Structure 1
């Protein structure tokens, strides 16, 4: 192992959380490697919102500027590739990439995000992040007062109905099959003049990701400007579990308020460890993770 392949910290994932952690550590004079494969989950989202000073910028604009700023710290290095395996060593951790490069570090930060699992609805993936959206704080203002749908069932549909009604009164719930809403939830929803449609959806008709209507299995249609949905997901990277990091009931990496996982020396931040999927939240979590990693290392060195 060459000295230049050993680092104080390896950050896996070089999007908003990872770059934020890298900035904290670069400013703390730590030797850092950021490994990133260049495939963020919001790649096709046209604009990012609700992030002060960056409102309306494209995700690519924000991450490009962030990488330029982090790159000014000469103790931070970037590696374009995919981390595929991780092991615990006597002095820290070893990370192997898809091209068989091996790097070691005293500490690890996973900012690897999650992988959305698209439902079997033609056009859904093409509209995801554009007109099929998940967060009203990120995208709701742009479709305020528009004809809007909720693609969800049960408690998720009820929560969305409560929330999205703040942005539009022209709201319809699509359960994509038999409703699992309770009678009490159903009564409350109908009290607010929100229709519940139980037909199965076969496809979304759209133009370049901007939806025009949904098409049901019976070939009937329903015109919409946007639809909220929360698809299932899985961890984008399996290395934290390889190392023994616990996941919570939602399938997110379990962390404490300082972004520490259940494995000593391993931290996680961003979408892989938080249900709050927003750029601003990822940046905040990365900042905390980087600061806490450095804080722990200074305490260990001061014994």
Structure 2
């Protein structure tokens, strides 16, 4: 299942518009007339930002042949500079290197689908809603935000074709007025497929309630690693042993398996460094890994780790098939 470096293309910015003071929409078409590959709802692309690195953005629209890719980018004032660079530099006519679409968040066939969005997490779910609408699937979309003016694509969500399926939850910044996750999930029919994308707190609440209920299938999209509590023992050192190369390395609390392996000269494919793209997936053979990625399911985690974010139990030895 190890993935190689995603093929990339040069894309041209063909349109740009402001969705709200913090979010812009960018339309990207292939440079020199290359036909953009198709994708399914839930897919994202890598955007390779010069001097900064790779960032992932969900594709907002279902794929239609001959049309550009559409992404929405929210500026992160406390981020690492990628979104700020996009806001400052990706104007109409600019070019940028992008990866071809990948999908760790696919829309599955189901009699009933529930989409739960928070903030910019609406972007992949809007694509799913469009797909459900076009294919005649039964679905509903819950959109959580502080206030109406913060909701991206708000007017689109009011369109007759989709509005009857949308519920808005506006808390005004008061969590006590937010989404009643318990009531929402308990009202779902057995077999409902539930997709959630948004702030960590929202996804944690949906996961916590959903896992206690029978008959619901949960799916999450998170662009970032799962945080570890400050007191977590996994923030101490552990050992990684590489079965094929014979290399053994000590992983310090402030280091990553990926960086340590690269420092030893091992050729490890990687991209996002935050556990969501799946490029660095490596089979593990023994030990006690602590998974912090958002790209692997429970079954896959029994065989693979994302070495950019994974840790291991303090003082243990994690054996990798590399």
The question of a shared fold, defined as TM-score above 0.5 by the shorter chain, is answered with no
Give TM-score scaled by structure 2 length: 0.25
Give TM-score scaled by structure 1 length: 0.27
- The structure showing larger relative contact order (alpha-carbon pairs under 8 Å, at least 6 residues apart) is 1
Of the two, which has the highest radius of gyration? Answer: 1
Instruction: Decide which structure has greater strand share.
Output: 2
